[in-house]
A and B are shown apart, each in its own frame.
Chain A
Amino acid sequence: MTLRLKLFTAWCLFLVATSGVASYYGWSLFADSASTSSSSGGARGPTHK
């Protein structure tokens, strides 16, 4: 196993661990929580063509 592969393995483990911690604390960069705005009020419709 090369040093580069070892470093990459450490990077993979770090990301897996980060994912686990984030899930445990229910944290996500992509949550739909709306602290300031609401989805209602605007007109919508298809964007097809």
Chain B
Amino acid sequence: MTQPRAVICPSCGGSIEIRAAGYTVTLGCRYCGSVLDVAHEDVRLIKAYRRAVKNFAIAPGARGTLFDVEWEVIGALRRRSAESGDWQEFLLFNPYSGYRWLVLAGAEWQFGTMLLDRPENGPRSVSWRGGDYLRGDSETATTVTVLGEFYWKIARGDEARATAYTRGAEVLSCESTADETNWTQLIPLDDSAVSAAFAVERKFVGAPQRRARRNDTDDLPMMFLFALIALLAVGLVQELVSRPRVCTESTSEIIVGAPSFTTRIGTLEVRRAYQFVTISAVSSNINNRWIDLDYSLVNRQTQQSIDAYGLIEYYTGTDSDGPWTEGSTGAETLIASVPRGTYDIYLDGGAHGWPNDPSVTVKQVKPDEWTVQTSADAENPWAPPEKVTVWFTACTGGFSWGMFWLIGFLLFAVPGAMLWWRHREDD
């Protein structure tokens, strides 16, 4: 019998007792989940990661009596294979009887004893203590989660080739790695016997974990596919349902630096109870300038105005990283919930220069007539003012990209969260 030894977790400072001192090489901190190498005097931190005890049917530290021996669960593993999904393995320890395994696969419990005498190999079976065990399928078992302490070095991601040999309900499990081959005899255990011996988490009592996990694996790709199809449907529905699309176009020249001016872009008729109105503005000769675009949709019948704004800004320059550009030469303005009616679309626009406005002089020659002169050009103070040309297209209907991406987020959030949760459990 060995004396328990206490070590201090270098990750969280928690004091942890090693129950199988002298045998235990790897120890998982019960406070922070760090994996510690306790074979060294200074207790090295191998890898720290989060781990939830609640994901195991039995928490390390639990004690229970099976086959008239009191066992303590000192380690727990979650392992996975492509063929069988997930299962849990618990390392039991008794100072007089040594180590045993408790395995939860699906809703079935098995009690495992390591074999000291190797079975004799046959072509399709093995023979052990007078019994023949038929060879089943082989699979690669990957360790997903490690919790507690073990008598060998183990880490997440460790792989072993596992082959099951069956004789009735009894199984001989052969696990091979590059370094060694281990045989374990597994006999079935009644669910109630395990529940009576240990405090089994309620959600694992009688729950077909393996099957549930397989379903997780199966329907998650389908959920992503459904989300993608739904997102495409959302785009199509938005495009089709927001019709009919009727447009009007116009062009305006805006003097850079001059006070804003008002002009009429055109007239639109909204034929449905409510509809989007989209106004696109594109300028071809804008550089280091911005154009404020204030739109007003004035209902001819009621004279009520619906206001919206747009902005075109486009800048270029060169710095230590080379040439750069910023902004766009176009802007699309989406006006929502425009009621049925005929609307005159007015623009109150102004163009400005960066870093400074060109200096212009505005003179009123008649009550309704103004002249604009540029005085920035010292050699030619009478040079014509700089103008930017803007093409406007106003249409009924529209596509709300914001709504499209919001719904896309809501669609993919569900399978995305499930995928994240699954990997979080793995960590």
Binding site for B on A (CB under 8 A): 1-2, 4-5, 8-9, 11-13, 15-16, 18-20, 22-35, 37-41, 43-49
Q: B209: shortest Cβ distance to chain A, in Å?
A: 16
Q: B338: shortest Cβ distance to chain A, in Å?
A: 6
Q: B306 to chain A: which residues have CB within 8 Å? A: 33
Please determine whether B402 and A28 come into contact, CB atoms closer than 8 angstroms.
yes
The verdict on B62 contacting chain A, using a C-beta distance below 8 Å, is no
Chain B, 314-337, contact with A by CB distance < 8 Å: what is the 0/1 string? 010101000010110000011111
Q: A23: shortest Cβ distance to chain B, in Å?
A: 4
Please determine whether A45 and B315 come into contact, CB atoms closer than 8 angstroms.
yes
Q: B275 to chain A: which residues have CB within 8 Å? A: 26
Q: A22 to chain B: which residues have CB within 8 Å? A: 400, 403
Q: B305: shortest Cβ distance to chain A, in Å?
A: 10
Q: A20-B241, A27-B336 are in contact. List 12 more A-B contacts (CB 8 A).
A: A2-B219, A19-B404, A26-B277, A26-B338, A28-B336, A28-B403, A29-B406, A30-B403, A39-B310, A40-B348, A46-B326, A46-B354
B219 contacts which of A4, A37, A49 (Cβ < 8 Å)? A4
Roughly how many angstroms separate A33 CA and B334 CA in the complex, as a whole number?
Answer: 7
Please determine whether A28 and B241 come into contact, CB atoms closer than 8 angstroms.
no
Roughly how many angstroms separate A35 CA and B292 CA in the complex, as a whole number?
Answer: 16
Q: Which residue of A lies closest to B313 (CB)?
A: A44
Please determine whether B219 and A23 come into contact, CB atoms closer than 8 angstroms.
no
Listed from nearest, the 10 A-B pairs whose CB atoms lie closest are: A30-B402, A31-B336, A40-B292, A12-B230, A39-B309, A28-B400, A46-B315, A23-B241, A26-B276, A20-B237
Please determine whether A44 and B219 come into contact, CB atoms closer than 8 angstroms.
no
B237 contacts which of A19, A39, A49 (Cβ < 8 Å)? A19
Please determine whether B400 and A30 come into contact, CB atoms closer than 8 angstroms.
yes
With A27-B336, A29-B406, A30-B401: A48-B292 Cβ-Cβ less than 8 Å = no
Q: A44: shortest Cβ distance to chain B, in Å?
A: 5
Q: B401 to chain A: which residues have CB within 8 Å? A: 30
Roughly how many angstroms separate A45 CA and B404 CA in the complex, as a whole number?
Answer: 30
With A31-B336, A48-B324: A16-B294 Cβ-Cβ less than 8 Å = no
The verdict on B260 contacting chain A, using a C-beta distance below 8 Å, is yes
Please determine whether A33 and B307 come into contact, CB atoms closer than 8 angstroms.
yes
Q: B79 to chain A: which residues have CB within 8 Å? A: none
- In B235-269, which residues have CB < 8 Å from any A CB? 237-238, 241-242, 260
Please determine whether A16 and B233 come into contact, CB atoms closer than 8 angstroms.
yes
Q: A9 to chain B: which residues have CB within 8 Å? A: 226
Roughly how many angstroms separate A29 CA and B229 CA in the complex, as a whole number?
Answer: 23
Q: A37 to chain B: which residues have CB within 8 Å? A: 309
Please determine whether B309 and A26 come into contact, CB atoms closer than 8 angstroms.
no
With A34-B309, A38-B309: A28-B334 Cβ-Cβ less than 8 Å = yes
Counting chain B CB atoms within 10 Å of each CB, which of A20, A30, A31 scores highest?
A31
Q: A3: shortest Cβ distance to chain B, in Å?
A: 10
The verdict on B80 contacting chain A, using a C-beta distance below 8 Å, is no
A44 contacts which of B230, B274, B290 (Cβ < 8 Å)? B290
Q: List 18 A-B contacts (CB under 8 A).
A: A8-B223, A8-B415, A11-B411, A12-B227, A15-B234, A15-B411, A19-B237, A24-B241, A26-B272, A28-B402, A30-B402, A31-B400, A40-B292, A44-B352, A45-B315, A46-B326, A46-B327, A48-B324
Please determine whether B400 and A11 come into contact, CB atoms closer than 8 angstroms.
no
Roughly how many angstroms separate A26 CA and B324 CA in the complex, as a whole number?
Answer: 37
Chain B, 103-140, contact with A by CB distance < 8 Å: what is the 0/1 string? 00000000000000000000000000000000000000
Q: B137: shortest Cβ distance to chain A, in Å?
A: 25
The verdict on B414 contacting chain A, using a C-beta distance below 8 Å, is yes
Roughly how many angstroms separate A30 CA and B334 CA in the complex, as a whole number?
Answer: 8
A12 contacts which of B327, B354, B411 (Cβ < 8 Å)? B411
- In B371-427, which residues have CB < 8 Å from any A CB? 398, 400-404, 406-407, 410-411, 414-415
With A32-B308, A39-B311, A45-B354: A25-B273 Cβ-Cβ less than 8 Å = yes
Q: A38: shortest Cβ distance to chain B, in Å?
A: 5
